[in-house]
Chain A
Amino acid sequence: MFNDSSAEPAAGSSGSNENVTKIEPIRMPTIEEMRAQEVWNNCAVKSVASGVMGGGLGLMMGLFMGALDNPIMHDTMTGRQQFVYTAKQMGQRSWSSCKTFAVMGLVYSAAECIVEKARAKHDIINTAVAGCVTGGTMSARGGPKAACMGCVGFATFSVLIEKFFDRHT
């Protein structure tokens, strides 16, 4: 079953003309390739990488948002002082947004990884549960009712995003 297609390219390329693309034989992966793939199979590595990416995204978004809305006061400060003040505001906002997004990415990725490993199946329930856990922990400060609302909202959001990406592959 696995060895049939490796015998095929010899017969196929000898009788074909130049229009047919050449079929490469199946190449077994080396042990280093398998080990490199195994690194990404680890939940901790995946969630940390996700957290870092979320942090980067949060930085960009915080910089953008911080640049958009800040009061420009011509009377009280000179130009250079205004620039420094604006830069500080942008930095603060982007740092807080970076932290929020990093935590969100980390929790979501860790939850999805753990749930999927435990269930040993890949379907939409994993993203829903992971979204619920993330939304719940992020809005847990507002009390149980806010946690439930956050859970439902973020779960719906992540399911929609997952379906959106699924349609395009």
Chain B
Amino acid sequence: FFVVVRILLRNSTFFFEKVEISVLSNSSIAEMASPNPFPAGISKEQAFSMAQTEMEYRVELFNKLAQTCFSKCVDKRYKEAELNMGDNSCIDRCVSKYWQVNGMVGQLLSAGKPPM
């Protein structure tokens, strides 16, 4: 379990870099169509609450991603503590698929189209 977090952390190092960028300029739940991340008129409290909501969303996303890929990829018999190579490649594929779909769904929702 310990090592799964390790490896999922490896796959999400790029994701955590994106968190800082997306807190400021993500369009999935922030206000629509604002190229300037802090336009005039948004007070500090509003910016903080937006960042907090964004952070909660990201944490939820990470937890769900870890749970899904763990349940799909790791054999439950727990014969050894380390992740096998098969488990590693399975987790890589799972995380990349999840992330890609998440991005697509976010874009569709933010653009205002109904999700299919």
Contacts and interface: CB of A to CB of B under 8 A. Distances in A.
Main secondary structure of the interface of B (DSSP, over half): helix
Contacts of B88: 41
Interface stretch (B18-26, B33-41, B79-87): B79-87
A29 B89 contact: no
Contacts of A126: 86
Contacts of B89: 116-117, 120
Contacts of B9: 28-29, 34
A87 interface: no
Interface string A24-55: 00101101001001100100000000000000
Contacts, number: 47
B79 A166 contact: yes
B63 A1 contact: yes
Given A29-B6, A34-B10, A169-B79, A121 B86 contact: yes
Interface of B: 2, 5-6, 9-10, 13, 63, 66-67, 73, 75, 79-80, 84-90, 93
